[in-house]
Chain A
Amino acid sequence: MRDQLSEAVKGHNADYVEIRLEQNEATVLVYQGKRLEEVGRTAGSGGNVRALVKGGWGFVSFNSINGLREKVEAATLQARLASKEQSQLAPVAPVVDVVEAQGRRDPTKIPLVVKKQLLDEYNDIVLRTPKIQTSTINYHDSRRKVILANSEGTYIEQEKIDLGLRLTAVARDANDIQQRSLSIGSSSDFSTVVNLQEKVREIANQAVRLLSAPEVKGGEYTVILDPVLAGVFAHEAFGHLSEADFVYENKQLREIMVLGRRFGGKQLNIVDGAAVPGLRGSYKYDDEGTPATKTYLIREGILEARLHSRETAAKMAEKPTGNARSLSYFFPPIVRMTNTFIEPGSASFEEMVSEVKEGVYVKDWYGGTTSLEMFTFSAAEAYMIREGKLAELLRPVVLTGNVFVTLNNIDAIGDDLQMNEGGGCGKGEQIPLPVSNGSPHIRIRNCLMGGK
C-alpha cells in the first residue's frame, strides 16, 4: 500500500499532494422507551486526495481506490482553478509511523449480548421510576483506521477507537414534559459505561423533580458552573475563537486576537491538546500528519497561542499545533479542538457558593453554540443560590454572553478539574467529532440568562 500511495502522489506539478484512505466499522444500539429499536452494524471504506496549487485547494473524495492517479490529477486541476497566490504550508518533518489503537477494554471486541444486557438494565432503571414517561438511549462504538501519505514523504497508519453513550429520561405530568440526560464517552475503555446504575437512577429522579421546579426569571446573575458545563463554556466561548481558520484571513479579527492580549484574570489558564493522553480528543498525529501538541491558549489570563493547521500556521507565522482534523474521508481536514480545558485554581466549591448573595448554580449540558463573539450554552440542571447557600431547583436555563466580556468576569476558579468525554463537536458539515472538554467549578459575574 505504501508504495502504491507514494507513487500516486509523485510528479503532479502541484505544491503539495496528500492521499488519505480510511476504513471504519461501528456498532449502534438505539432504545426508544421499552423497545430496543435498532441494533445496527456499519462498515465503510473510502478515501480522498487533496492538492495545493498556488494557494488554491482541490479536494476529491471517493469510495474506490481504483484510478488513484486520475483522482490526484482531478484534485490538482481543481486546485489550479482556485489558485490565486503563493502556497504556504508550515514545515512539518516527514514521518513514517504506525500507531495502533490502545483499547484498555476495547468496546469493539465486547459481544453485542453484553452491551444489550447492560443497556437493558439501565433502561429498566429509568422506566421503573415513577412519573417517567419514556426513555431514549443511543450507544455507539467504532474503530477507524486512517492511512495518510503525502508528497513530502510522510506515511502514517493510525487507528482510533471511539465509544459514546447518551441516555435520556423523560418525565411527564399532564402537558408538562421535562428531561434529563447522561452522556459518557471514551477513546479506549468499555469500563467507562459499566456500573452506572446509581447515576442512571439519579438522572431519572432528577427529570421527575424538574416537573415541579420553577422557571428562572430572565436577567443577569452571578453563576457558578459545574465542571461539565464549565468545560462546555471553555469550548464554546473560547475554544472556537482560538481556531485559526476563523482568524487567519481576517485582518480585524487578527487585531482583536493578537497574541499577548489580556482576556481574563491571572488565575485563568485554558489549554487544548491532543497530546494530553487517554481522552476522546487524543491522538499522535492529526489528519495532516502533524504531531499532536498541548497548547496553552490562555496563560495567566493572556492570549498565548491558537490552534492551527499547516496552512493557518504558515500564514500567521506561528507554529503548527496538530489540530487539522476531518470527520471522515468525505471531508478535508479543518482546524478543530481536541481536549479543551480550564486548568484548576485554588477555590473550593463551598467558598464560591458562600460568597454569592443571589445567583444561580448551573450543572451539566444540553448544548452550546457560538458566533465567535456571542456564545450560548444551556444547563440541564440549575439551582438558585441565596445568601451563600444552594436553594431551590430551577428548570433548565440557557446562558449567553460576549466572550470579550465574560472571560474577564470569571472571579473564582475551583480546585476540582474534571474532564467530560460525553460530547461531540460540530463545525460546518463535520459533526459530531470526538472531543473532550473540562474544567473545575468556576464562578462568573453578570452572566445573562433567558427566562420568563
Chain B
Amino acid sequence: MEAEQILSLAKKVADEAEVFQVHSQRVPVRFEANRLKQIQRQEGTATALRLVKEGKIGLSAVGGEVQVQTLVDMAVKTSQFGALANFIFPSASVYPDVNIFDPETEKVPVEKMIDISESLVAQLTEHTPDILCEGAIAKEVRQTRILNSKGAEVSYLKSLFSISLEGVVIRDTDMLFVGDSESYCRPEVDGKTIAKRVIEQLELAKRKASVSTKLMPVIFAPRGVASAFIAPLMVAFNGKLVLEGASPLKNRQGEEVFDNKLSLRDDATIHYRPTSRPCDDEGTPSQSTLLVERGKLMNFLYDLQTAALAKTRSTGNGNRSRGSLPVPSANCFVLSEGNVPFDDMVKDMKEGLVVEQLMGAEQGNLLAGDFSGNVLLGYKVEGGEIVGRVKDTTVAGNVYQVLKNLEAVGKERRWIGGFLFSPALYCPSLSVATKVG
C-alpha cells in the first residue's frame, strides 16, 4: 500500500491529510533457562491516516494490507465526530542531522547473536552456577515515512541492536533477581559490560541485611532512578496534562521546583540512541528541550494539537502508538551529572539504603508524583559500606518533595533502556518500611 496513493486519495475528500507509515523487521534470539529457545522474525507494516475535514480530525489505521479506499472511508467517517483541528500540518522543514542507522546492524548473523547469548550465560553461570538466565539479543530495522498535504515528505531508517538479560537465583523460597539491558542503533552493544554489571549485583547481594521501619537516607542508582522517578516526571512534563491542569507543574515556569543541583532535558537528537530521530511522528523536527535548569522549571513537552491549544510550539514530542493519534510524550530524558562519585555517597552514609530497582513504584497516584514500591534489588549501607541485600522492604515518597532536596547528584551517568541517561541521586531522608511479622 503506497503512502503517496493514500495521500492523494485522501486529499480529494478532505481539506488536509497526513499519512504515517512504519515498516519494521525485527529478529530476536531468545534464551530461557540458560538455553537458546526461539529465533523469531517479526515483520509488520502499520499505516495511519489522519485527515481534517470540515475542520475536524478523522483517523484510521491499519496493520498489514488493506484497500486504500477503505482506509480513507474509515477516516472520513470518524471525522464527523472528531475533535476540531487547531493545528496545521508542518510543511517540509530542515531536519537535524541525527545518525540512527547503521547498515551493519541488520547484517549481524543470527549465529553471532547466538554466540553472544551463549557467552553471556557462560560468564554468569561461571560466577554463580545455579543462576538461571533468560533474555534476548535482537536486531531491528525500521523505516518510517511521513507525508502530508502541506508538502512534507520524510523518510528515514533506524536500526536497533539490543541485549537484555534477567537472572534469578533461587535458594529455598528466596529469589534474587538481577539483570541489565542495553540498546543502541549500532551493533556495538557489549555483552561483557552487561555480564560485568550483573556479576557486581550478584556480589553485592551475596550477604543479607535488614533495615527497620523509619526515615533514612536513600541512594537511587541510575536503574533505581528509572524505576522510581521517571514515570511521574514523564507525566508531569506532558503538555496535554499541563494544559488540563492535571500536572502539578502547571503555571510554575520559572519557579525553582527541584533542587538546584538538578537539570533535565528531553533530547531526540543524540546520535545512535534508540529514541533519536530527525523528526517526531507528525513531522516536527527533533530538538533538545530544556525542561529543568538548575532546579528551575523551563518547558513542557508538546505535539502539534496540544501546542496549538496551549498557544505555543510543538517541541517535537508528538508520539504515536498502535495506530492512535499523536500525543505528547517524552523522547529521552537526560539528567545532568553531579560532582559526587557513587562510592563517596555510600561512604557518607551512616545507615541507609541503595536502591537498584524498585518494583511497582509507578502504580500509585502518578499525577501527584507519589511513588511507593518494593525494593526488588537494593542494599543496606552501614558505616559507609554496603553490607548486604535487603528484602521485604518498601520505599515511599513524593517525587516533588524528594527531588526538591537532594544531598548529592552522582558524577557517573549511564543509559537505562535507551530512554534515560542518569546519574545516581542521593536523598537525605525517605520513608522505608519493612516486614517484621
Interface residues of A (CB under 8 A from B): 24, 28, 30, 32-33, 35-46, 56-64, 74-75, 78-79, 81-82, 84, 112-113, 116, 133-134, 170, 172, 175-179, 218-220, 249-250, 252-253, 256, 328, 330-332, 366-369, 371-378, 395-398, 400, 402, 404, 445-446, 448-452
List which B355-371 residues lie within 8 A (CB) of chain A. 359-360, 362-365, 367-368, 370
Give 1 or 0 for each of B234-250: 1 = CB within 8 Å of chain A CB: 00000010001111100
CA distance A40 to B62 in the complex (A): 11
> Is B396 engaged at the interface, CB distance under 8 Å to the other chain?
yes
Contact B431 A450 (CB under 8 A): yes
Contact B368 A178 (CB under 8 A): yes
CA distance A176 to B431 in the complex (A): 20
Q: Which 5 pairs between the two chains have the least Cβ-Cβ distance?
A: A376-B360, A249-B33, A44-B63, A450-B372, A218-B433
Q: Which of A84, A219, A369, A446 contacts B213 (CB 8 A)?
A: A219
Interface SS majority for chain A:
strand
Total number of residue pairs linking A and B with CB closer than 8 Å: 266
> Is B108 engaged at the interface, CB distance under 8 Å to the other chain?
no
Q: Which of B175, B360, B435 contacts A367 (CB 8 A)?
A: B360
Count chain B CB atoms within 10 A of each CB in A39, A367, A373 and give the residue with the most. Answer: A39
Contact A59 B65 (CB under 8 A): no
Show 15 residue pairs from A and B whose CB-CB distance is below 8 angstroms, ordered by the A residue.
A38-B82, A39-B81, A41-B75, A42-B60, A58-B40, A60-B43, A62-B44, A63-B45, A84-B36, A112-B78, A170-B244, A218-B433, A250-B33, A398-B396, A451-B431
A302 shortest CB reach to chain B, Å: 16
A381 shortest CB reach to chain B, Å: 12
Q: Which residue of A lies closest to B134 (CB)?
A: A249
Count chain A CB atoms within 10 A of each CB in B39, B58, B59, B82 and give the residue with the most. Answer: B39
Chain B contacts for A219, CB-based, 8 A: 213, 433
> Is B395 engaged at the interface, CB distance under 8 Å to the other chain?
yes
- Asked, given contacts A170-B367, A450-B395, whether A82 binds B44 with beta carbons under 8 Å apart, the answer is no
CA distance A383 to B265 in the complex (A): 40
Q: Which residue of B lies closest to A75 (CB)?
A: B41
Contact B64 A64 (CB under 8 A): yes
Chain B contacts for A178, CB-based, 8 A: 365, 367-368
Contact B248 A32 (CB under 8 A): no
Chain A contacts for B360, CB-based, 8 A: 367-369, 375-378, 398, 400
Q: Which residue of A lies closest to B45 (CB)?
A: A63
Contact A256 B244 (CB under 8 A): no
- Asked, given contacts A56-B37, A112-B78, A449-B394, whether A42 binds B63 with beta carbons under 8 Å apart, the answer is yes
CA distance A328 to B301 in the complex (A): 32
Contact B374 A37 (CB under 8 A): no
CA distance A112 to B60 in the complex (A): 14
Q: Which residue of B lies closest to A398 (CB)?
A: B372
Q: Which of A33, A367, A376 contacts B374 (CB 8 A)?
A: A376
Contact A400 B40 (CB under 8 A): no
Contact A446 B435 (CB under 8 A): yes
